Amino acid sequence: MIVRDADRVLVQGITGKQGTYWTERMQAYGTRVVAGVNPKKAGTEHCGVPVCASAGEAMRETGFDVSVLFIPPLGVKAAARDAIEAGCGRLVILTEHVPVQDVMELLAMARANGAIVVGPNTAGLVTPGECFVGFMPAFESDVFRPGRVGVISRSGSLGALICLNLVQAGFGQSAFIGIGGDPIVGTTTRDALQELDADESTDAVVIVGEIGGTMEEDAAEYACTMSKPVVAFIAGRASPPGKKMGHAGAIVMGDKGTYASKRTALEAAGIEVLDTPSELGRALHAALG
């Protein structure tokens, strides 16, 4: 799911306010946006690229490798189906509040067609110096800089803070993979960790997790098999149990999804879990020797 500058990107929902704002930002950064979708404005041009009636039409007209969805929650399932049926191999779903049963359906469609889904409720993907897809501040040079640390984050804002701390400590990123804050997402922490483990331009990985679910525990299992160093920060240590902390996925129920469970699992895998993101530089220098 790492994006590269050769990837051709389709923007579903390109003509909306946010679609437009972020398409311009992506283009300015070097992302190869090749087309957009809006059935009502098909045949026109927007942000300098053709607007198509569907992802299927875009596939025939320009072809594309990645589709990014700026689509309201209740339209996401249909838009994802459109992209998957068009033969899209990678979808980045930014939308928050997509009904979970819709998410399960679209993930099943993707599985059946061999497509990878990142999100929903992700801030997207960044490969500093190459391109970005979504709404991360790739263009802010104090946050993103080319380097050799891979970052996996459930949160966009916290992911950006972690990247800022990396740059402040003299590091840069090989790739940022936003996996999304929903309880069910297409790409898990473990999936992203496997990808960064296999990535030759990544020397170390930072896992940015949060309370709720068991993705960090699951990733810790895989981390045991890795030779690359991994450090982690888990948000939500001071959050009251039983409350949904902004992200639908961030809720502690009973003893499931707790901070303690995640920290214990990660530490058992030899991963240092930071008390504050500002310890990141020190921890990475130590981990990389």
Partner 1 sequence: MNFEEHAAKPLLQAAGIAIPRGCLARSVAEAQAAATALGVPVVVKAQVPAGKRSKAGGILAADGPAAAGKAANAILGMEIAGHRVEAVLVEERATIAAEYYAAVVNDAASKGPLVMASSEGGMDIEEIAASKPDRLRRALVDILQGFDLEAARAMIDGLGLGSDEAPVAETLVALYRAYRDNDGELLEVNPLARLGDGRLVALDCKFALDDSGIQRRQELSSGGSPETLTTLETRGKALGLRYIELDGDIGVLGNGAGLTMTTMDVIAHRGGRPANFLEIGGDAYTKARPALELVLDNPKVKCLLVNFCGAFARTDVMTGGLIDAWEALSPTLPIYFSVHGTGSAEAQAMLRQRLGVSPYKTMDGAIVAAIAAAREAGGPS
- Binding positions for partner 1, rule: CB under 8 A: 18, 73-74, 94, 96-101, 103-105, 107-109, 112, 123, 135-137, 140, 142-143, 153-161, 164-165, 168, 181, 183-184, 186, 208, 210-211, 213-214, 233, 235-240, 243-248, 250, 275-278
Residue 289 Cβ, how far from partner 1 at the closest point, in Å?
25
Check 46, 97, 247, 285 and give the catalytic one: 247
121: helix, coil or strand? coil
Residue with tokens 């972020």: 22
Closest to partner 1 by CB, 36 vs 249, is: 249
Q: How far is the CB of 47 from partner 1 (least distance, A)?
A: 18
CB of 185 to partner 1, least distance (A): 8
Is 46 in the active site? Answer: no
Q: Report the amino acid identity of residue 121.
A: N
Nearer to partner 1, 63 or 260 (CB): 260
Residue that is written with structure tokens 């490969």 in the block: 127
Q: How far is the CB of 109 from partner 1 (least distance, A)?
A: 7
Q: Closer to partner 1 by CB, 18 or 44: give it.
A: 18
Each residue of 196-228: b (16+ CB within 10 Å) or e? Answer: bbebeebbbbbbbbbbbbebbbbbbebbeebeb
Complex with partner 1: residue 55 or 274, whichever CB lies closer: 274
Q: Give the CA distances from residue 280 to residues 194, 254, 274, 275, in Å, rounded to whole numbers and listed in that order.
A: 21, 30, 7, 10
d(CA 274, CA 283) in angstroms, rounded, equals 8
Q: Are 138 and 250 in contact (CB under 8 A)?
A: no
Q: Where in the sequence numbering do the catalytic residues fall?
A: 247
